[in-house]
Structure 1
Amino acid sequence: MRQVAALPYRPEADGNIRVMLITSRETQRWVLPKGNLIKGLRAHEAAAQEAYEEAGVEGIACPTLIGSYTYAKRRKTGLARTVAVDVFPFAVTGQADEWPEQDERTTAWFTLPNAAAAVDEPELKAIIAGFRDPLPAPGLTDRVPAMREEIGRKIPVLRWFQSLMPKQGRFFELFEAHSQTLVAGADALARLMQGGADLHAHIREIVMQEDRADDIARDVLQDVRRTFVTPFDRSAITGLIGVMDDAIDQMNQTAKAVALFEVQEFAPHMRDMSGIIVEAARVTAEAIPLLRSLAPNAGRLHTLTERLIELEGHADEIHDAGLKTLFRTCREHPMDFVVGQEIYGHLEKIVDRFEDVANEIQGLVIDHA
């Protein structure tokens, strides 16, 4: 027997992730919103439907599953049947005031460690715990600037000498700030692909994030030119910020195409690709801070970059299927095909740029870890 589940999550102001769990109706244990496949809906769409019916949450489902787990489902006869559950990331955008099973279950937001501890299934514990690892404690290289400042306060002569030394730059801070523009831009893009009355607001948000990202990328390039000591090769720094900036640029190009052609409705395959972009941005935002300590984080970075490459491969499949469907339905409306093809092309390029980010990170790990 096979089921699908949503892993509802939202980022907090402190940058940490919270996930929602619900109680089961019979045993009142903590579980994910889940259920059987629904006729007429694809697996991730069915998971999103279950999330609404059982928890009232609405959002963006990624069509690429993040893992699977099994559990024993008890029947009324007393016999147990093994059920395999595919889990799909679900970025929550809101919660309804009322939903079908509101009075039958309890919902609650958990930190990742607490959520992993609350569920019973070992495989599900691993999926939740691995959704985003906590950042490691600062290593020696992270403590050096603070140690240097402390010594400078105690020994004035050394403080004067330190002022003459070349600074390392703000590369890590700028990378992390840029990754947050990717998250915000991807969220606005996915909301845009849902259609509705707020299209122009979502387009403005994407444009604003792209402008902010451009400023950050410019600061990185300035630091590369004026900083004597850099944490990585200069070409690696410019390469990484370049592909990150290309990703938000392509989001902006997508928004411009939507505005130019006055598109109001979007095909399911377009929404699916936007869900993958949201997941790719989340994974990137987790990976970037780990660059501060490459050696101890090499294993986790390898896992995250593999996830980005997996997402890109799935996006290619969705892109091809979407174009085929578009061609079949637009035989008598060639301009509709041209417009749809333009939007599909930009969406594909966004995911391609995230794969480029994965390749740049893998190169850093190979060279420096």
Structure 2
Amino acid sequence: MLLEFLRSWHPRFEPVPAFRQSGALPYAIVNNRVVFLLVTSRKTGRWIFPKGSISAGMTPWDSAAKEALEEAGVSGEISTSAIGAYRNTDKGVPVEIDLYPLRVEAQLEAWQEMDQRLRHWALLHETKRLLSDRALSRIAETLHRQLTVPRLMQ
């Protein structure tokens, strides 16, 4: 139990606004099943969701949609509410990345970073297996649950 706690523990920090990023959590519903789109990072080749610095003059969610188009070649309806956040480092500096669900409506055959990354559609169990960051897995699980659990009638 202690080992599990230590694996997922991260010291709290308040990132400077300049060190906050946004990312997209691209998904689609195929045959009534939720599938997620992952891309490989350029530096390590690990599977991640598209992310990057928030572009000047853009909202975090619009910037996340831009990253999804550049890194994965997809576009669609982006949520204005983050589904979750996780921590990472960029050149040794801690950053907090907010992820915004992006329901994919179009996928390009050619896109800006296609020669630098792979992309892969996966069901939740494979998504969790491919993601090395447990925080990303938990965020994907949260979105999956929101999309699949019937809402209670009010």
TM-score by length of 1: 0.35
Contact 2:20–2:96, Cα closer than 8 Å, also in 1: yes
* Cross-structure match for 2:25: 7
> In proportion to residue count, which structure has more strand?
2
Counterparts of 1:37 and 1:109, CA distance in 2: 25
User: RMSD value over aligned CA atoms?
Assistant: 1.6
Q: Look up the match of 1:115.
A: 127
What are the within-5 Å matches in structure 2 for residues 315-326 of structure 1? none
Query: Is the contact between residue 36 and residue 124 of structure 2 (CA under 8 Å) also seen in structure 1?
Result: yes
Q: Please list, as runs of the form range in 1=range in 2, the aligned pairs for 1:48-59 lying within 5 A after superposition.
A: 48-59=65-76
Aligned partner of 2:84 in structure 1 is 67
Q: Deviations over 1:52-78 (max 9, x none)?
A: 0011001110101100001133x2xxx
Give the gaps of 5 or more residues in structure 2.
Answer: 1-18
Q: Which residue of 1 aligns with 2:7?
A: none
Q: Which residue of 2 aligns with 1:126?
A: 138
In structure 1, the gaps of 5 or more residues are: 134-282, 289-300, 306-356, 361-369
Aligned to 1:24: 41
**What's the counterpart of residue 40 of structure 1?**
57
Listed one character per residue, the Cα deviations across residues 257-277 of structure 1 (whole Å, up to 9, x for unaligned) are xxxxxxxxxxxxxxxxxxxxx
Amino acid at match of 2:22: V
Q: Is the Cα contact below 8 Å between 2:65 and 2:78 reproduced in 1?
A: yes
Letter in 1 for 2:60: A
Kept after mapping to 2: 8 A contact 1:5/1:33: yes
**Residue 69 of structure 2 aligns to a residue in which SS?**
helix
Matched AA of 2:62:
E
Q: Do 1:69 and 1:85's aligned partners in 2 also have CA atoms closer than 8 Å?
A: yes
**Aligned mates of 2:69, 2:149 — CA distance in 1:** 30
SS of 2:148 mapped into structure 1:
helix
CA contact (8 A) 2:83 2:142 kept: no
**What one-letter code is carried by the residue in structure 2 that aligns with 1:287?**
V
Structure with higher RCO (Cα < 8 A, 6+ apart): 2
Q: What's 2:5 paired with?
A: none
Helix, strand or coil: the match of 2:149?
helix
User: Would you say the 8 A contact 1:70–1:121 is kept in 2?
Assistant: no
1:50 counterpart SS class: helix
Flag the structure with larger Rg. 1
- CA distance in structure 2 between the partners assigned to 1:122 and 1:81 by the alignment: 20
Corresponding residue for residue 9 of structure 2: none
| Per-residue CA distance 1:121-180 (angstroms, 9 max, x = gap) | 2211111122224xxxxxxxxxxxxxxxxxxxxxxxxxxxxxxxxxxxxxxxxxxxxxxx
1 or 2, which has the higher helix percentage? Answer: 1
SS of aligned partner of 2:127: helix
Structure 1 segments (4+ residues) deviating >2 Å: 285-288
**How far apart in 1 are the matches of 2:26 and 2:118?**
14
Name the SS of the counterpart of 2:99 in structure 1. strand
CA distance in 1, matches of 2:65, 2:22: 9
Task: Report how many aligned residue pairs link the two structures.
Answer: 136
Provide the C-alpha distance between the structure 1 equivalents of 2:148 and 2:109, rounded to a whole number of angstroms.
32
Partners of 2:144 and 2:64 lie apart in 1 by 21
